[in-house]
Structure 1
Amino acid sequence: MLNSLTSLRFFFAFAVFLSHLTFVQTDLKWYNWLKNVVFFEGYVGVGFFFILSGFVLALNYKHKIIDQPHFSYKNFYIARMARIYPLHVLTFAVMIPLVIVQGLFGWDKALLNISLLHTYIPIKDYNFSINNVSWSISTEFFFYLMFPMYVIGLHRYKWLKYVLFIIAIPLLIYFEPFVTGNKDLEKGIYYVNPLVRSLDFIIGILLCDVYQKIKDTKISVAKGTLFEIGALVIFVLFFSFYDEVVRTFRYNIYYWIPMILITLVFALQRGMLSKILQNKPLIYLGEISFGFYMIHMIVIKYGNYFFPEGNDFIKIGAYFILAIMLSIICFEYFEKPLAKKIKTYFSK
């Protein structure tokens, strides 16, 4: 298992959590700088998740799909749905009462959301309806559906990966001026749209091929540590110049290089940083990171609804601790046991 990547999932989920602390009101200049600059770019975490998803799925299933004539697509899809859908339904149900009270409920939004179809509508009120972060599950579900076709297509037609990006990137650059300034289209197309974000996912699939070729290369701990620090430094450098790049591209294209390097270098697990990330508590945080990601926004929204006043910094600590506790409970008593039952029942 690539435990270092599992641990990294939590850190990127935490980045998403930070990006949702927009409710904090303070005169502290240092915090406002963090909120408006560092926290604001928290959506890079989602880009990492999408690339990592393609990478891990390719690592586990690519050769099975290509080499096994009787590969069970049914079991593959059941396993994928068992992983994401139960928690989506639970968080959907928990969020509904607050959405109704706030006057934000709509049957059309609810039906699209529960069906994981809401990211196909380039309108903010649909994309981020009910449990806001569920948009990424809708997009991820599309990846799961397309994964076998992506793998087979990229395997049979080697030229496809070149053509795909030669066409896609210029198209995204060309259409950028037409959507920038329109918040619905900016996020609806460049941030949440499953077809556009498939590029992140496909990068992960292709990155797996690179990993397979170099994974047995002998690399010393010192050199591995240097590579890991270097990947993080490159990420920081890209982050430092974010203001020079339009936000539309920062949703995906701009951060591809650092995300690729981080994923590949930490997958090799050769340096001291990856050794630290293989610590059991960090691995466990990575395992519950999906729950943390799905739950944290619910905690923030209910917390702010019931406690609109009070010290916002105390709220941050309370929300974080509560989200972690609920994530652990969901992981141990809901996600794991239910996923096991679903796979056992439907895979017969």
Structure 2
Amino acid sequence: MPLRLDNLTALRFFAAFSVFLHHLRPFDLNLSKSLWGVNLGWTVSFFFVLSGFVLSYSYHGRIRTLGDSGRFIAVRFFRLWPLHVACGLIALALIGASSAPNLTKVYLFLTLQHAWIPSLETAFFLNAVSWSISVELFFYIVFGLISVLSIRTGILLIAAWTFAVVVLMLFVSWNPAAIPFGSGAPGSLPSMVTEQSFFHLSPPVRIVEFFAGILTFHLYARIRVPRNLIFPAQLACVVLIIAYMPLHRPIIELLQAEGPRVFAQVYPRSGMFLLFALVVYVFAHQHGAVSRILSCRPLVFLGEISFAIYMVHQILIVFLQSHGAAVVFGPWPAAFCAFALTVIASWTLYRFVERPGLAWAKTTFAAPRRSTINP
């Protein structure tokens, strides 16, 4: 297998850019409504699928013991934490706290557990987009633990977990009063967990998308698209996504009218994860004209800083909106300014925060060298 997946790295940028477009509403640009009602924040689901694939690809056969698992979790925590804290400080300086702070929320935020109590008030504290990396940390812990199992046992566990999530969604749909979700009124943290926030934010629910990425890797490792069919397959994926867009809203309306209620709530944000898994599988092949275009250096660079783009963009949009950028310059110039500032800030954060933090973690938590001298 090649060491780099440049075209998948480039796709990370397009996913981050989709979320950027979704968050332009402070400039009166509701692109999620304009594009056939597709919630452009849907690409968070793509990130979850891609994460499961890339981790499986990168760590295949490398996590054999609980010690390996612990080192993996530590490295991945510090993959997220430095940029998370830096963006939290930027948000605090530029726009202030997103909700009234208390020691519990500050603790959860600093330890990346703030989405583990899946209320909007807690998960969206300070830097709203960081809820997803709190969810990712949960994924990393589960991945580190199941990687010490055999592949067969791991897949059976994934299947059982996914089945349990589906059963829970059906149960809540048919028995809405069975679980005492809160109404969203102010109060203690548990009371703020509503049915919608639970199924939107809860890591044990969203991990099904991450599992799809893991299974996609195992498919990729065993079955490859013939080289002469890679370009048609990649082109077909692009066409499929474009063709799907006008169908998105009718599918949601059908679910709302005929389907289980929770499925209708979940689908707009994460119902496309199987489509994203197909895209990841096809584009993991590093050949074909589309792959060559995606692998050009500018797109790969934007993909490399896409984590920082995702983490800082909403802060800058809200900051510019609070200073009247859309009023002074107009919505689209303000959006362009926000994107330019986002790219500049993201490169700076990638260069001076994200990359050094990851390098430190890999060195600090490196596996000990095994002696080759017999005792």
Using structure 1 for the length normalisation, give the TM-score.
0.87
The structure with the greater share of residues assigned to helix is: 1
The aligned counterpart of 1:315 is: 334
CA-based RMSD: 2.7
Residue pairs, 1:101-140, within 5 angstroms: 104-140=100-136
Task: Report what 1:248 is aligned to.
Answer: 266
**What's the counterpart of residue 189 of structure 2?**
none
Q: Which runs of 5+ in 2 are unaligned?
A: 185-192, 253-263, 369-375
1:227 to 233, 240, 243: 233
Which residue of 215, 218, 221 maps to 2:226? 218
Q: Residue 231 of structure 2 aligns to which amino acid in structure 1?
A: T
In 2: Cα distance, 1:328 partner to 1:322 partner: 10
What's the counterpart of residue 187 of structure 2? none
Aligned: 1:13 with 2:16: yes
Which amino acid in the other structure matches residue 229 of structure 1?
L
- Which residue is 2:287 aligned to? 270
C-alpha displacement of 1:69: 5.1
Deviation by residue 1:68-104 (Cα, 9 ceiling, x = unmatched): 4586334322321221110001111121245547774
Which residue of 2 is the match for residue 93 of structure 1?
89
Corresponding residue for 1:196? 205
Consecutive unaligned residues in structure 1, runs of 5 or more:
26-30
Give the number of equivalent residue pairs.
336
- 1:209 is matched with 218
3-state SS, counterpart of residue 117 of structure 1: coil
Change (3 A) 1:166 1:154: farther
Q: Percent identity?
A: 30
- Encode CA deviations 1:110-165: one digit per residue, 9 max, x unaligned: 22211212112232111211001010110001111111223345724254343333
Separation in 2, partners of 1:103, 1:128: 8
Check if 1:24 corresponds to 2:32: no
Q: Answer yes or no: is the 8 Å Cα contact 1:22–1:35 preserved in 2.
A: no
Match of 1:292 among 309, 314, 318: 309
Does structure 1 retain, via aligned residues, the 8 Å contact 2:52–2:212? Answer: yes
CA contact (8 A) 2:81 2:112 kept: no
Tell me, in whole angstroms, the C-alpha distance in 2 between the residues paired with 1:111 and 1:90: 16
Residue number in structure 2 paired with 1:47? 45
